[in-house]
């Protein structure tokens, strides 16, 4: 069983709703593992139900009880336009494709400020209020959220021990994230899981695979995996990859293949 607690943070740019799902069981000696979920409006409830179900028999499923921190925006839509600002790196110049509906892109380039919020406000709040395991702190992001996961890994890898980038939008601004792709020297980072749909939608698969290969080559001590489930698209890959990625990151799978 899990219980839910809900908080509001003012933020420097706009407010956030934080939904925390807490296992109703004795806290492990090292504290609960924590999963921070970007785009919580879309994925918070989904992931909480998946974790609740599988953690009942963790010895069989490989999914342990954990604290889930769903980062959400006000309003009922699953993907709020504010995510574009929060999840994209700053850039002096910007070149983006036209949007399918012909509308202009929302405000962008606020990833540094969003990282500030995570580091200075949200993570300390969660660690103070709940007993958490500092060696098992995962961040999950999909699409632009996956881009932010990678940007955080390259810029402030100390914030999390495990990184889960699902269909990361490496294409953003002509792959402007690539210059940040350097050796990950922070020994605090334990694992990286990248998933991408095996279809050429903005080259998600090709870009994700290349990123995985480069990081694996130059960071030998970092446990990495790349997962491309057949038959999945940009949205269906999320539930298809979630349990696989969490088992890998939580050391329940030692080796992954394409």
What are the two backbone dihedrals, phi and then psi, of residue 56, each rounded to the nearest 5 degrees?
Answer: -65, -30
Average pLDDT in the 155-167 region? Answer: 96
Alpha carbon distance 23, 236 (integer Å): 27
What whole-number percentage of the chain has pLDDT above 70? 94
50-59, 161-170, 246-255, range with the lowest pLDDT: 246-255
Question: Residue 202: its pLDDT value, please?
Answer: 60
Question: Residue 254: its pLDDT value, please?
Answer: 44
Number of domains observed in the structure of the chain: 1
Q: Give 65-91 pLDDT, tens digit per residue.
A: 999 999 999 987 889 889 999 999 998
Residue 105 scores a pLDDT above 90: no
Specify the CATH number for the domain of residue 73. Answer: 3.40.50.1820
Question: Residue 108: its pLDDT value, please?
Answer: 86
Q: Give 40-66 pLDDT, tens digit per residue.
A: 999 999 999 999 999 988 888 889 999
**pLDDT higher at 58 or 147:** 147
Instruction: State the chain's mean pLDDT as an integer.
Output: 90
Q: Which residues contact 150 (CB under 8 A, 6 or more apart)?
A: 163, 165, 168, 170, 177, 181, 211
Instruction: pLDDT band for 255, please (50, 70, 90 cuts).
Output: very low
Query: How far is the CA of 214 from the CAs of 89, 183, 208, in angstroms?
Result: 20, 10, 10
Average pLDDT in the 137-159 region? Answer: 97
Question: Residue 185: its pLDDT value, please?
Answer: 67
Q: Could you count the other beta carbons within 10 Å of the beta carbon of residue 111?
A: 21
Q: Give 189-202 pLDDT, tens digit per residue.
A: 999 999 999 986 66
Average pLDDT in the 109-115 region? Answer: 96
One-character DSSP codes across the chain: -EEEEEEEE--SSS-EEEEEEEESSPPPTT-EEEEEESSHHHHHHHHHHHHHHHGGGHHHH----EEEEEEE-SSS-SS-THHHHHHS---SS---PPPTT-PPPPP---HHHHHHHIIIIIHHHHHHHS-EEEEEEEEEEETHHHHHHHHHHHH-GGG-SEEEEES--TTHHHHTTGGG------TT--EEEEE--SS-STTHHHHHHHHHHHHHHH-TTSEEEEE--TT--TTTHHHHHHHHHHHHHTTS-S----
Residue 134 scores a pLDDT above 80: yes
Domain membership of residue 165 as a residue range: 2-257
Question: Residue 77: its pLDDT value, please?
Answer: 86
């Amino acid at each position: 069983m899990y219980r839910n607690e809900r908080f509001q943070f003012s933020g420097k740019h706009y407010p956030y709703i934080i939904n925390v799902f807490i296992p109703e069981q004795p806290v492990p000696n090292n504290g609960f593992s924590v999963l921070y979920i970007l785009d919580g409006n879309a994925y918070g409830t989904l992931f909480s139900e998946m974790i609740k179900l599988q953690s009942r028999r963790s010895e069989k499923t490989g999914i342990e009880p954990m604290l889930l921190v769903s980062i959400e925006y006000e309003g009922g839509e699953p993907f709020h336009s504010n995510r574009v600002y929060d999840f994209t790196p700053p850039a002096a110049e910007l070149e983006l494709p036209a949007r399918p509906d012909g509308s202009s892109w929302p405000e962008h380039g606020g990833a540094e400020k969003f990282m500030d919020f995570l580091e200075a406000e949200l993570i300390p709040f969660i660690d103070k209020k709940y007993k958490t395991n500092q060696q098992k702190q995962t961040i999950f992001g999909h699409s632009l959220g996956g881009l932010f996961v990678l940007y955080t890994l390259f810029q402030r890898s100390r914030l999390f021990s495990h990184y889960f980038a699902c269909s990361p939008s490496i294409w953003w601004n002509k792959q402007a994230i690539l210059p940040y792709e350097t050796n990950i020297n922070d020994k605090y980072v334990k694992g990286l899981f990248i998933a991408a749909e095996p279809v050429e939608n903005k080259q998600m698969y090709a870009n994700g695979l290349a990123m995985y290969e480069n990081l694996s080559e130059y960071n030998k001590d970092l446990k990495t995996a790349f997962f491309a489930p057949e038959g999945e698209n940009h949205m269906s890959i999320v539930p298809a990859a979630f349990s696989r990625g969490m088992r890998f990151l939580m050391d329940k799978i030692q080796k992954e293949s394409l």
